[in-house]
């Protein structure tokens, strides 16, 4: 999984740049708390994470992080408007059950929403379907369809259309190439492997 | 991304072995929350492990309704059972006595050696019985504070407890915010709900309607044994779960002969179990203490007492981990989550984890590798 974690480090670095020091941050689908721990160390954030997986929550507890085992929608519903400076939704987007509802809720409880996702419109993903007749299996998504959680793939084009339709402003965005490192500016929906957005109401 | 899943225990699992209790006597008057004053009181307690030089390794254990200060080890080699949380506490165990100095006391108002209704009122020379002041969860905690001060401890590493013990843990964090490093409440609530009050009331009625109760003035060897046993039988059901009971007893019968004459005697295993629970309870527990403690539970209401949960937790300084259990229907996960959500809204450092177990409310007392790992994780991040 070396390449996967290397890929990960670039998007973490970008998010780090967007984060205000000492701000209050909620990580939706925090996993083992790698991102929270990183931001805590680098920017002294007040961070908390939500996840459904008990073993991941335990890993967060072990790191001394503030973590909550449960449903992220119900969790956000327990907080007043603008309670958080920023909500992080990195890699979790395609697994959300009601993306629209959750994005709006995140923009209610958070002043900023950072979303990062794998661009399904990336050319290799298109070729995979065209030539292989199936999805790519790689380091980041090593499982076949029958061994993975339900996902709801989304492309850059679809996501940006959603934002403009819903009146969500994109204050910053970064497209990364297939290596998830090199910035990519031309025809992003075709050539970007990963996209990161900083959203606000 | 190098985080190993579990903390390997530093030592082989071991047993504490023989332990004995001590009595702490506080000669200072104690004012209860309701204003009543007693001239002195004593708490029976046990300690395990060693107090380090910095006196910074103390974990205080708070017991549930009918438990006591004897939470680990054995009193004699003839003991059938060790202390009530022996699976959790000991050398190399999640609450590791090689590392921590563990203290557990019988609550004020109790009947296992601490001052309570069965104690003699020094002002009258007679048993307190119902003359004992109404005791609250906060009173229990304030009494424990005197014990801990007496032990020369200036800050607790952690306070841990389930059920009524969990309520005390919360109260510790609220009452003495600078004194407690970590709070680990389990299977608990910030507010006794209507259903739980209702069950307590049935238990109390069973005791108080027993003719032997005598308005609480029964002799030491007498008392409402039938009522107390029934109260215990019923309460015990609320500590288990439908699935847990089915796994443990099913429809198993003592008399498997299908042609047995229909009778009202004990037949199903579950009946036999409950009767045994009731009978063994009357030999170790006082009916009046049962009334006092269930009432302490009923009146526990942080929201009502402080105006809101956020207000209640306003001054909290401890790091908190609340643990709920999926099959607990007495103090369900929901109420445990509510504690954490309020703490987070109040800007506190509180985490919530849930353990999937089938044993109902008593899950926290049952052997559970998941719970052990979680407790180890919470105590290993520094």
Report the largest interatomic distance among the alpha carbons of chain A, rounded to a whole angstrom: 49
Choose one of B259, B292, B325: the last residue of a domain. B292
Rounded Cα distance, B250 and B244, in Å: 9
Q: What is the mean pLDDT of chain B?
A: 95
In this structure, the answer to whether residues B273 and B360 fall within a common structural domain is no
Residue B155: its pLDDT value, please? 97
pLDDT tier at B264, thresholds 50, 70, 90? confident
- Both B147 and B201 in a single domain? no
Q: Which residues pair with A68 in a beta bridge?
A: A50, B352
Q: Which helix (H) or strand (E) holds B310?
A: helix B309-312
**pLDDT digits over B308-367, tens only?**
999 999 999 999 999 999 999 999 999 999 999 999 999 999 999 999 999 999 999 999
Three-state SS at B258: coil
CA distance B241 to B326: 10
End-to-end CA distance of chain A: 36
Q: Which residues of A touch B181 (CB under 8 A)?
A: none
For the annotated catalytic residues of B, the residue numbers are 163, 328, 361
Q: What are the tokens at B256?
A: 């498997």
The verdict on B34 and B131 lying in the same domain is yes
Let me know: does B139 contact B33? Beta carbons within 8 Å: yes
**Residue B1 is assigned to a structural domain of this protein:** no
Q: Which of B108, B282, B110, B299 is nearest to B200 (CA)?
A: B299
- Per-residue pLDDT band for A142 (boundaries 50, 70, 90) equals confident
State the residue range of the domain holding B274. 197-292
Residue B311 and residue B164 in one domain: yes
Q: Does the residue B86 lie in any domain?
A: yes
Instruction: Quick: pLDDT tens for B210-222.
Output: 999 999 999 988 9
How far is the alpha carbon of B79 from chain A, nearest alpha carbon, in Å?
Answer: 36
Q: Could you tell me what percent of chain A has a pLDDT over 90?
A: 63
Minimum mean pLDDT range among A152-156, B102-106, B172-176, B315-319 = A152-156
CB burial of A43-55 (b: ≥16 within 10 Å; e: otherwise) equals bebbbbbbbeebe
Which domains can be identified in chain A, with CATH numbers? 2-200 (3.40.50.150)
pLDDT at B1: 38
Which 61-90 residues of chain A touch chain B by CB within 8 A?
A: 61-70, 75, 78-80, 83
CB contact under 8 A, A61 and B340: no
C-alpha A25/C-alpha A48 separation (Å) is: 6
Q: Assess whether pLDDT exceeds 70 at residue A91.
A: yes
pLDDT in the model for residue B257: 72
Beta strands in chain A (DSSP E): 24-28, 46-51, 66-69, 84-90, 110-118, 169-176, 194-200
- Per the domain annotation, does B42 fall within a domain? yes
Q: Is the ipTM of this complex over 0.90?
A: yes
* Interface contact flag, A54 B354, Cβ < 8 Å: yes
The answer to whether residues B168 and B51 belong to one domain is yes
Inter-chain residue contact A80 with B345, CB threshold 8 Å: yes
Residue A174's nearest CA partner among A192, A191, A155 is A192
DSSP class of B110: -
- d(CA A66, CA B344) in angstroms, rounded, equals 9
pLDDT at site A8: 65
CA–CA separation, A192 and A124 (whole Å): 10
DSSP labels, B184-239? EEES--SB--HHHHHHHHHHHHHHHTSGGGGGGT--TT-S-HHHHHHHHHHHHHHH
Decide if A2 touches B, using CB distance below 8 A. Answer: no
How does residue A139 score in pLDDT terms, banded at 50, 70 and 90?
A: low
Identity of the residue in A32, A57, A79 whose CB atom sits nearest the CB atom of B3: A32
Contacts of B162 (CB under 8 A, 6+ apart): B64, B185, B186, B187, B188, B364, B365
Return all residues near A141 (Cβ < 8 A) that are at least 6 apart: A118, A135, A148
Contact list, B381 vs chain A (CB under 8 Å) = 61-64
Per-residue confidence band for B12, with pLDDT thresholds at 50, 70 and 90: low
Q: How many domains does chain B have?
A: 2
Any idea what the CATH number is for the domain that residue B93 is in?
A: 3.40.50.1820
- The pLDDT score that the predictor gives to residue B300 is 98
Contacts of A66 in chain B (CB under 8 A): 344, 349-351
pLDDT for res B260: 67
Residue B15 lies in a domain: no
Predicted local confidence at residue A4, as pLDDT? 53
Top pLDDT among B13 and B203 is at B203
Size of interface A-B (CB pairs under 8 A): 71
Q: What does pLDDT average to over chain A?
A: 90
Looking at beta carbons, which residues of chain A come within 8 Å of B158? none
B356:A54 CB<8 A: yes
Please report, rounded to a whole number, the percentage of residues in chain B having pLDDT higher than 70. 95
Is residue B201 pLDDT above 90, yes or no? yes
Residue in chain B lying closest to A49 (CA): B351
| Domain C-terminal end among B247, B272, B292 | B292
* The pLDDT of residue B116 is above 80: yes
In a domain, B4, yes or no: no
Residue A141 pLDDT more than 80? no
Q: What is the 3-state secondary structure (H, E, C) of B50-62?
A: CCCCCCCCEEEEE
B75 with B108, same domain? yes
pLDDT of residue A55: 97
- Mean pLDDT, residues B295-302: 98
The whole-angstrom distance between B322's CA and the closest CA on chain A is: 10
Query: Which residues have CB under 8 Å from A37's CB, separation 6+?
Result: A63, A65
Chain B residues whose CB is inside 8 A of the A60 CB are: 351
Domain-embedded: residue B52: yes
Asked if pLDDT for residue A68 goes beyond 90, the answer is yes
CB of A55 less than 8 A from some CB of B:
yes
Residue B12 lies in a domain: no
The whole-number average pLDDT for the span B153-160 is 97
Both B182 and B213 in one domain: the answer is no
Between B60 and A132, the more confident residue is B60
Answer yes or no: do B212 and B188 share one domain. Answer: no
Closest CA to A22 of A48, A34, A40: A40
Share of residues in chain B with pLDDT > 90 (%): 91
User: Is B132 in the same domain as B280?
Assistant: no
Claim to verify: residue B251 and residue B231 sit in the same structural domain: yes
Say whether both B269 and B129 belong to one domain: no
B7 within a domain of the structure (yes/no): no
CA A25/CA B229 separation, integer angstroms: 52
Task: Write down how long chain B is.
Answer: 382
Q: What is the pLDDT of residues B181-195, one digit of tens each?
A: 999 999 999 999 999
pLDDT at residue A5, as a whole number: 56
pLDDT exceeds 90 at position A162: yes
Of B345, B353, B382, the CB nearest to A54: B353
Whether residue B186 sits in one domain with residue B74: yes
pLDDT digits (tens, 9 = 90+) for A29-64: 999 999 999 999 999 999 999 999 999 999 999 999
Residues of B in contact with A139 (CB under 8 A): none
Q: What is the dihedral of CA B215, B216, B217, B218, to 10 degrees?
A: 110
The DSSP bridge pattern shows strands B30-31 and B37-38 to be antiparallel
Sign of CA dihedral A175, A179, A182, A187: negative
**Which of A40, A56, A58 should be substituted to probe chain B, the one whose Cβ sees the most B Cβ atoms within 10 Å?**
A58
Phi then psi dihedrals of residue B102, to 5 deg: -100, 130
Q: Give the gap in angstroms from C-alpha B2 to the nearest C-alpha of chain A.
A: 9
Q: For position A181, what pLDDT does the model report?
A: 84
Check residue A130 and give its pLDDT: 82
pLDDT at B7 over 80: no
CATH number at residue B266: 1.10.1740.110
Last residue of a domain, one of B237, B272, B292: B292
């Amino acid at each position: 999984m070396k390449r996967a974690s290397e890929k990960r480090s670039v998007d973490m670095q970008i998010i780090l740049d967007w984060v205000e020091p000492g701000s209050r941050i909620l990580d939706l689908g925090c996993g083992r708390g790698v991102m929270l721990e990183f931001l805590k160390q680098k920017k002294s954030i007040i961070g908390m994470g939500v996840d459904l997986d008990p073993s991941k929550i335990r890993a967060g507890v072990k790191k001394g992080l503030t973590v909550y085992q449960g449903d992220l929608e119900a969790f956000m519903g327990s907080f007043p408007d603008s309670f958080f400076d920023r909500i992080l939704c990195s890699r979790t987007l395609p697994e959300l059950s009601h993306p629209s509802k959750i994005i709006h809720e995140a923009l209610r409880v958070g002043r900023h929403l950072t979303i990062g996702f794998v661009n399904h419109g990336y050319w290799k993903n298109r070729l995979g379907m065209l030539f292989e007749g199936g999805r790519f299996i790689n380091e980041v998504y090593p499982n076949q369809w029958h061994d993975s959680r339900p996902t709801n793939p989304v492309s850059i084009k679809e996501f940006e259309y959603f934002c403009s339709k819903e009146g969500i402003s994109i204050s910053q965005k970064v497209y990364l190439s297939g290596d998830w490192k090199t910035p990519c500016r031309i025809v992003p929906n075709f050539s970007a492997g990963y996209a990161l957005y900083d959203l606000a109401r | 991304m190098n985080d190993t899943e579990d903390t390997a225990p530093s030592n082989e699992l071991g047993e504490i072995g023989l332990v004995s209790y001590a009595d702490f006597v506080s000669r200072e008057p104690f004012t209860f929350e309701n204003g009543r004053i007693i001239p002195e009181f004593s708490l029976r307690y046990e300690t395990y492990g060693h107090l380090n030089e910095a006196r910074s390794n103390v974990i205080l254990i708070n017991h549930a309704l009918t438990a006591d200060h004897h939470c680990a080890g054995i009193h004699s080699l003839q003991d059938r059972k060790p202390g009530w949380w022996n699976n959790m506490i000991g050398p190399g165990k999640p609450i590791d006595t090689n590392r921590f100095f563990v203290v557990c006391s019988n609550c004020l108002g109790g009947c296992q050696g601490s001052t309570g209704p069965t104690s003699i009122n020094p002002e009258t020379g007679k048993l307190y019985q119902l003359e004992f002041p109404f005791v609250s969860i906060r009173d229990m905690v304030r009494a424990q504070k005197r014990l801990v001060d007496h032990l020369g401890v200036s800050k607790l590493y952690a306070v841990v407890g389930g059920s009524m013990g969990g309520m005390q843990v919360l109260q510790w964090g609220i009452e003495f915010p600078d004194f407690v490093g970590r709070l680990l409440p389990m299977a608990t609530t910030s507010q006794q709900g209507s259903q739980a009050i209702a069950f307590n009331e049935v238990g109390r009625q069973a005791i108080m309607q027993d003719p032997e109760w005598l308005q609480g003035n029964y002799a030491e060897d007498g008392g409402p044994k039938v009522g107390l046993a029934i109260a215990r039988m019923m309460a015990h059901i609320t500590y288990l779960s439908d699935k847990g009971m089915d796994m443990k007893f099913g429809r198993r019968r003592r008399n498997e002969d299908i042609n047995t004459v229909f009778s009202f005697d004990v037949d199903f295993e579950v009946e036999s179990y409950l009767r045994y629970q009731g009978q063994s309870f009357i030999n170790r527990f006082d009916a009046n203490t049962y009334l006092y403690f269930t009432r302490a539970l009923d009146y526990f209401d942080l929201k009502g007492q402080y105006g809101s949960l956020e207000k209640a937790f306003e001054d909290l300084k401890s790091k908190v981990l609340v643990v709920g259990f999926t099959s607990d229907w007495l103090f369900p996960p929901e109420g445990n989550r509510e504690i954490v959500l309020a703490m987070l809204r109040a800007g506190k450092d509180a985490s919530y984890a849930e353990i999937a177990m089938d044993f109902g409310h008593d899950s926290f007392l049952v052997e559970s590798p998941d719970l052990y790992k979680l407790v180890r994780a919470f105590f290993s991040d520094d």
